[in-house]
Amino acid sequence: MKRTFYTIYLWVYIFFDFVGILLLVIPLSLLLNPFDKMQKLSGKLMLKMGASLINVMPEWRVKIFGKELYDGKEARVFVCNHQSFLDMPLQAKLPYNFKWVSKVELFSVPIMGWFMRLTKQLSINRGKSSAKDLLNQAVPMLENGISICIFPEGTRTRNQELLPFKKGAFLLAKEAGVKIQPMVIDGTFNLNQPDDWRFNDRGELQLHILEEIDPQDFTTVEELMNVTYLMIKERLEQIRIRSFENAKSTLIA
């Protein structure tokens, strides 16, 4: 019963939050477009809105680790694992201005898609030209100091295991000459699983910022991708071992 109540509560909040911010973003983006081609201000509003989805749930605990590893002054390519619909709202709590790369189908979804277009989020159409399209959209953003966030698995995990990475994010970092900032998310899967509209009312969401990776240290895109994959996979395993040990200690106590 409690889960149902919080699920309805959050979806109602999401709807009115999207509509309310959209009514603000539409005139703002049109007014500022001649001076703000990258829609930095409207993008910040979208991040604020996303973070609020996490804040309104009273029994969701958020822990962010490693903020000292990135001060936000240089544009980066954020590379992160993908567990849930809640990954993006969790990332929105970071104190950085950035854009997400999402599959092009999401831009056709009413309200959310309009929001993504107005705030200049990046779209990718999975196919032969997807890497080229990503470079064309993302490189100008990076050159203007805006970081780009990509989920290189290409979809949400259905079993909490890390899926194989696609090359786009790493090709972008190589071509643009910007560093990769690996991130690891855990806990969002337990609060909202893929293909399930319901939310659990209680849980912990963790976001870990890892050490930066310089693409210039690698000869090939594949090598860069593999090293990043291993970093993220290793941290995920460490998080779960620690969570298991904490749970076991709680039971013993």
Backbone φ, ψ for residue 147 (5° rounding): -75, 160
**What is d(CA 215, CA 163) in angstroms, rounded to the nearest whole number?**
22
Domain residues for 115? 2-252
Q: What angle do CA 84, 208, 86 make, to 5 degrees?
A: 20
* pLDDT score recorded for residue 108: 86
Tell me, what's the pLDDT at 249?
Answer: 61
State the pLDDT at residue 28.
85
The C-alpha atoms of residue 137 and residue 124 are separated, in whole angstroms, by 9
pLDDT winner (highest mean) among 108-112, 128-132, 178-182: 178-182
CA distances (Å), origin 163, targets 19, 137, 213, 237:
34, 25, 20, 14
pLDDT digits (tens, 9 = 90+) for 53-107: 999 999 999 999 999 999 999 999 999 999 999 999 999 999 999 999 998 888 8
Band (226; pLDDT cuts 50, 70, 90): very high
pLDDT at 115: 84
Task: Report the number of distinct structural domains present in the chain.
Answer: 1
Q: What is the CATH number of the domain that holds 246?
A: 3.40.1130
